[in-house]
C-alpha cells in the first residue's frame, strides 16, 4: 500500500496526514479491551445475551433496554459505563477511555430488523462503533449473535466491519497548525464461531479501506499541489513500490505527438502541463486480450525512458484484460465558459475519477486478482488562460474523430475521448470509465447515487452488482440512439454539448463517449454526485468519498 506522505502546499508547509492506524484482530472470547460494542436487533425479547449479562452482572433482556429508551433501531446507541450509571446517547463522553479495568464498558448499537443484515449494514454499524469509541485505544465488537442465522459469509462480514471502522474514523489531512488525532488503535472482532474467517476478511477490508482513504486524500488535497504532474508522480510511486505494476507517463510533447487533441485542447489555458498516465498490473499468470476493434499505438515516457507499445505484449495469454479510465481534471474553472464562484469552490474534486483509478492500483498487488488491469488517466487543469480553448474551436481526438467545442466547461468528455481511444487500442475484454462528468446526473440521481451507462447490458448488470456488494449505489441510465442527434454538429463529427438547458445532459455526454469505444464492451460511471459528501454520515466524511474504488476492487475480484 502506498504510504500517505506529506505533500507540499504552495505556502511551503506540508499538510498533516498523520491519523490513527487501526489494526484488526479476532477472538472467540471477550479480550482485554476498553469498550465492547454489542449489536442488537429490534426484536428485543428474542435476544440471547448471556455473555453480556455476565459481563454487566445483571439480567439483560427486552425490559432492560425499554427502561433505558433503547429499541434496537438502526443507528441507535446505548452506552453503559461499568463504573457508573448507564446513559443513552450517540457519542462516548471524553473521559470514557480514562479508565481501564478488568471489564470493558459496553456500547449497545441498534441494527434494525433481523433477517435484513447485509455487508452495507455492517459497514455503517462498525463506523458508528468506531466513531463512538474513538477516544479509547481499543474496542471489540461482538458478532456471535447477529451473524447467527443470517445469510452472510464470515469473511464478507469481517471485510465489511474493517472497511466501515477504518473509513468511519477517517479524517481529511489538514493544514491546521494544531490537531488532536483520535486514540483508537485496536479493533477486535469477537465471535464464538469462525473467528479465523472473520479475521481473514478483516485483513482484506483493511487493504480496501486504505485504498479508499488514498482516493479521499487525493481529492481533498488543494489543487495548488494536486497538479497533473503530482498525479503522475504518485502513479510513479505506486509503480516503484509494486513490482507487479508498470507505470508510463506521457509529457506534453508526447501528448501532442500522439494526437491527443482533446487533452491538449483543454490544457492550453493552464500553465500546468498535462500528463497522460498509464498503469498496468500484471498477475503472475499470463494474460490474453479480447478481440475488440482498434489498432495498437506507441507509448512514450517523460525524459529518456524508451517508447514501447501501450497495449503491452502480444504474447500474453490466459486471463482477461480490464481497462479503467479516470477523468483527471485537477481543477475545473470552466475555462472561458467560466463557472460561478460557488460552482468553482469544490472543483478540486473534478479529478475524483483519476483518484479512484490510482487508488485501485495501490491495492491490486495486495489483493492479487487474476486479471490484467490497465489504468489510463488523462490529467490536466481547465483554466481560462491566454491560450485557452475558445467556444467554436474544434479538437481532434486520438481516434481521429472531431468535436466542436461549444462550451469549454464540458471538458471532461474531451479528455475522456482520448483516454477511451487509447483504451480501445489495448484490445481489452472490457472498458470502464469513471468521471465527475455532469451536473445533470446529480439533478437526476441526487448526491449519493452514480449514473451507470454502457453498450453491453451484461457488463452493466455485472458492474451494478459489484457496486451493490461493495456498498456503492449505481443506477442504470439509457443511451437512446435517437438522442444521438442531440450532439450533431454542422462543423465537426459531433459537438460537446446537447440540447439547450441541459435536457438529457448526462445521456448526451454518455452518447459522446460511446463514439470512442468502438466495439469494446464498455461502461461509463458518472460520479458527479457521490464523489463528494457534504457532511459526516455513516462511514463517509465531509469531502472526497473515494467512490468507485470498492466497486472496482469487487468487480476485479469477481472476474479473477
Point out the residues that are catalytic: 339, 413
d(CA 65, CA 124): 22
Q: How far, in Å, are 49, 77, 247 from residue 46 at the CA level?
A: 10, 19, 56
CA 534 to mean position of chain CA atoms = 16
CA 334 to mean position of chain CA atoms = 24
Q: Cell for 149?
A: 442465522
Q: List, as one string, the DSSP characters of 377-421.
A: EEEEEE---TT---TTEEEE-TTS-EEEES-TT--HHHHHHHHHH
Q: Cell for 93?
A: 463522553
Per this entry, what is the length of the chain? Answer: 560
CB 133 within 8 A of CB 181: no
d(CA 17, CA 323): 30
The packing angle between helices 549-559 and 352-367, to 10°, is 40
| Among 297, 427, 278, 435, residue whose Cα is nearest residue 358 | 278
Q: Cell for 460?
A: 452493466
The set of residues, in sequence order, having a beta carbon less than 8 Å from that of 64 and lying 6+ positions away, is 58
Amino acid at each position: 500500500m502506498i504510504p500517505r506522505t506529506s505533500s507540499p502546499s504552495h505556502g511551503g508547509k506540508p499538510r498533516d496526514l498523520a491519523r490513527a492506524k487501526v489494526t484488526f484482530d479476532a477472538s472467540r472470547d471477550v479480550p482485554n479491551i476498553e469498550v465492547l460494542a454489542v449489536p442488537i436487533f429490534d426484536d428485543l425479547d428474542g435476544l440471547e445475551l448471556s455473555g453480556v449479562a455476565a459481563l454487566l452482572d445483571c439480567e439483560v433482556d427486552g425490559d432492560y433496554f425499554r427502561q433505558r429508551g433503547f429499541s434496537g433501531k438502526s443507528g441507535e446507541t446505548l452506552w453503559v459505563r461499568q463504573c457508573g450509571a448507564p446513559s443513552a446517547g450517540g457519542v462516548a463522553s471524553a473521559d470514557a477511555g480514562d479508565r481501564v479495568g478488568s471489564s470493558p464498558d459496553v456500547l449497545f448499537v441498534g441494527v434494525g430488523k433481523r433477517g435484513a443484515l447485509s455487508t452495507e449494514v455492517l459497514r455503517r454499524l462498525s463506523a458508528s462503533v468506531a466513531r463512538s469509541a474513538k477516544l479509547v485505544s481499543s474496542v471489540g465488537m461482538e458478532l456471535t449473535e447477529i451473524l447467527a442465522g443470517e445469510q452472510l459469509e464470515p469473511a464478507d462480514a469481517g471485510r465489511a466491519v474493517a472497511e466501515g471502522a477504518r473509513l468511519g474514523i477517517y479524517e481529511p489531512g489538514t493544514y491546521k497548525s494544531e490537531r488532536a488525532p483520535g486514540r483508537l488503535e485496536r479493533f477486535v472482532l469477537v465471535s464464538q464461531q469462525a473467528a479465523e474467517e472473520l479475521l481473514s476478511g478483516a485483513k482484506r477490508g483493511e487493504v480496501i479501506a486504505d485504498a479508499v482513504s488514498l482516493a479521499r486524500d487525493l481529492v481533498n488535497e488543494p489543487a495548488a499541489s494536486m497538479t497533473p504532474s503530482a498525479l503522475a508522480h504518485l502513479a510513479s510511486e505506486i509503480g516503484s513500490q509494486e513490482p507487479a505494476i508498470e507505470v508510463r507517463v506521457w509529457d506534453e510533447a508526447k501528448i501532442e505527438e500522439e494526437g491527443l487533441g482533446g487533452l491538449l485542447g483543454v490544457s492550453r489555458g493552464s500553465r500546468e502541463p498535462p500528463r497522460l498516465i498509464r498503469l498496468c498490473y500484471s498477475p503472475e499468470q499470463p494474460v490474453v486480450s479480447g478481440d475488440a476493434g482498434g489498432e495498437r499505438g506507441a507509448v512514450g515516457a517523460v525524459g529518456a525512458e524508451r517508447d514501447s507499445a501501450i497495449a503491452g505484449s502480444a504474447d500474453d495469454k490466459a486471463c482477461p484484460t480490464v481497462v479503467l479510465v479516470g477523468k483527471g481534471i485537477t481543477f475545473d474553472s470552466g475555462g472561458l465558459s467560466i463557472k460561478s464562484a460557488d460552482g468553482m469552490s469544490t472543483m478540486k474534486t473534478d479529478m475524483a475519477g483519476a483518484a479512484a483509478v490510482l487508488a485501485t492500483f495501490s491495492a491490486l498487488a495486495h489483493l492479487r486478482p487474476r486479471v490484467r488491469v490497465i489504468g489510463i488517466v488523462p490529467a490536466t487543469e481547465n483554466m481560462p488562460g491566454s491560450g485557452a480553448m475558445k467556444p467554436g474551436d474544434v479538437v481532434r481526438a486520438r481516434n481521429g474523430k472531431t468535436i466542436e467545442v461549444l462550451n469549454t466547461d464540458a471538458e471532461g468528455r474531451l479528455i475522456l475521448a482520448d483516454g477511451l481511444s487509447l483504451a480501445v487500442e489495448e484490445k481489452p475484454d472490457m472498458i470502464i470509465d469513471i468521471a465527475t462528468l455532469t451536473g445533470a446526473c446529480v439533478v437526476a440521481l441526487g448526491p449519493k447515487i452514480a449514473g451507470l451507462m454502457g453498450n453491453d447490458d451484461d457488463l452493466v448488470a455485472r458492474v451494478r452488482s459489484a457496486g451493490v456488494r461493495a456498498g456503492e449505489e449505481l443506477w442504470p441510465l439509457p443511451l437512446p440512439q435517437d438522442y444521438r442527434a442531440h450532439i450533431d454538429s454542422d462543423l465537426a463529427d459531433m459537438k460537446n454539448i446537447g440540447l439547450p438547458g441541459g435536457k438529457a445532459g448526462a445521456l448526451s455526454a454518455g452518447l459522446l463517449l460511446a463514439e470512442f469505444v468502438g466495439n469494446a464492451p464498455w461502461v461509463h460511471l458518472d460520479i458527479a454526485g457521490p464523489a463528494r459528501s457534504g457532511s459526516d454520515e455513516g462511514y463517509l466524511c465531509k469531502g472526497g468519498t473515494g467512490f468507485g474504488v470498492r466497486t472496482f476492487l469487487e468487480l476485479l475480484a469477481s472476474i479473477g
